[in-house]
Amino acid sequence: MAIAAHARFPSSKFSTIHNGELKRDYPKGSWILLDDVATTGRSLLEAISLIGSNPKEIIVAMDRRWRNTNPKVVSIFEPSPAWFLF
């Protein structure tokens, strides 16, 4: 996701969080949080807490939570309601 975003916006800068530690610089000004899957939203909230400011937007590949709240995200793919039955 980050590679695709960088291809679209080549002047953008990226930082990563691995094992609760920020790699590279803290975002300055407006920033967007990218993640692969939101299952509970906890990792998203931890990332926001680590950065110390709210992102302009949160984009995930798939939002697997029951409700899209806390935090609100934009999901590229959304599972069908039947997915939760398995």
CB neighbours of 44 closer than 8 A, spacing ≥ 6? Answer: 33, 35, 38, 58, 60, 71, 73
Strand partners, 38: 63
Residue 18 has a pLDDT of 82
What amino acid occupies position 58? I
Q: Any alpha helices (H) in the chain, and if so which ranges?
A: 2-8, 42-51
pTM assigned to the model: 0.76
Instruction: List, for residues 10-69, the tens digit of each pLDDT value.
Output: 887 888 888 888 888 888 888 889 898 888 889 999 999 999 999 999 989 888 888 878
Q: Report domain extents, the chain.
A: 2-8+30-85
Q: Which two tokens stand for residue 36?
A: 């692969």
Strands 57-63 and 74-77, by their bridges, are parallel
